[in-house]
Structures are given as structure tokens and as C-alpha cells.
Amino acid sequence: MSEYGKLFPIPSAVPRDKSKINADTATMNDITREELNALLENHQLKADARLKEFEGRVADGLLKMDHSLQLLDKDLSGVRGLKGTIILNSVLSVIAIVGISIAVMAYGVANFDSGRDTSAALQEMKQQSFETRQLLEQVKAQQKAPHGNQ
């Protein structure tokens, strides 16, 4: 026999499921292969049922989440155009403010010109009034003069 064979002896027979010596298993019941297979199959069926239940819960959760996302998408559909609306309103507001400013300035210039025109008209009226007074005095003087000549 080689040294390997001395250190690691080869068993003469392969051990079986049941030991011939039942000293440490005397109080236990032996289980047959069929019982073991049935037990394992039962555990596998329970695990499959739990997995199916979990898959159902996940599917329900995803369905609810999809429904919520659709509702959110509907709610946000109005907000999508909001950016453009805000920009458009801002531009229109700036245009309106510039238009109002131009109108106020034009009104002020018109009033200034109107005041200048009024001042010129007032000067002209004073001049006409002065001329009318002179003519009136001349008429009075002429009326007094013919009375004296007659």
C-alpha cells in the first residue's frame, strides 16, 4: 500500500441512506425519499404562491403609479405652455409700458404746445384788444370832432 493509501484509506463500500447501525437515530423516525420530495414540493409551492402574491402586489402598485402619472401628466399639460405664456405676457407688458410712456410724453408735449399756442393766442388777443381800444378812442374823438364842426 502506498503512503497515500495509509494516510487516506479508501472505504470499501459507499454508505447508503440508512445506516446499519442505528445507535444515534433510534428515537428518530426515518423519512423516505417520497416524503422528502413531497415536503420539498410543498415548500416550493408555498414559495411560488408567495412569489405570485408579491408579483401581484408589484403589478397593482405599478398600475396605481401609472394611473397617478397619467393624472399628473393631465394636470401638468396646462403648465407646459405656461413658460411661453409667461414670456409672451412679459413681452406684451413691456410693449404696453413703452406705449403708455410714449402716450404720456406725447400728451405732455401736446399740452406744452397747446400752452405755447395759448400764450401766443393770448398775446394776439391783447394786441387786438389794444388796437380795438385805439380804434374806439379814434371813433370817439371823431364823434366829438364833427359835433364841434357843425
Please check the confidence at residue 82 and state whether its pLDDT lies above 90: no
Please check the confidence at residue 130 and state whether its pLDDT lies above 80: yes
Q: Is the pTM of this model over 0.95?
A: no
Higher local confidence (pLDDT), 28 or 122: 122
Written as one letter, the residue type at 134 is Q
Residues 6 or more apart whose Cβ sits within 8 Å of residue 43: none
**What's the pLDDT score for residue 106?**
86
Residue with cell 423516505: 32
**What's the pLDDT score for residue 55?**
93
Lowest mean pLDDT: which of 6-15, 33-42, 74-83, 141-150?
Answer: 6-15
- Write the DSSP symbol of residue 16: -
- Write the DSSP symbol of residue 27: S
Please check the confidence at residue 67 and state whether its pLDDT lies above 80: yes
Q: How many helices (H) and strands (E) does the chain have?
A: 3, 0
Is residue 11 within 8 A of residue 5, CB to CB? The reply is no
The mean pLDDT of 2-17, rounded to a whole number, is 57
Average pLDDT value for the chain: 80
Higher local confidence (pLDDT), 150 or 104: 104
Residue 109 pLDDT grade (very low, low, confident, very high; cuts 50, 70, 90): confident
Alpha-carbon 142 to chain mean position:
93
**What's the pLDDT score for residue 83?**
78
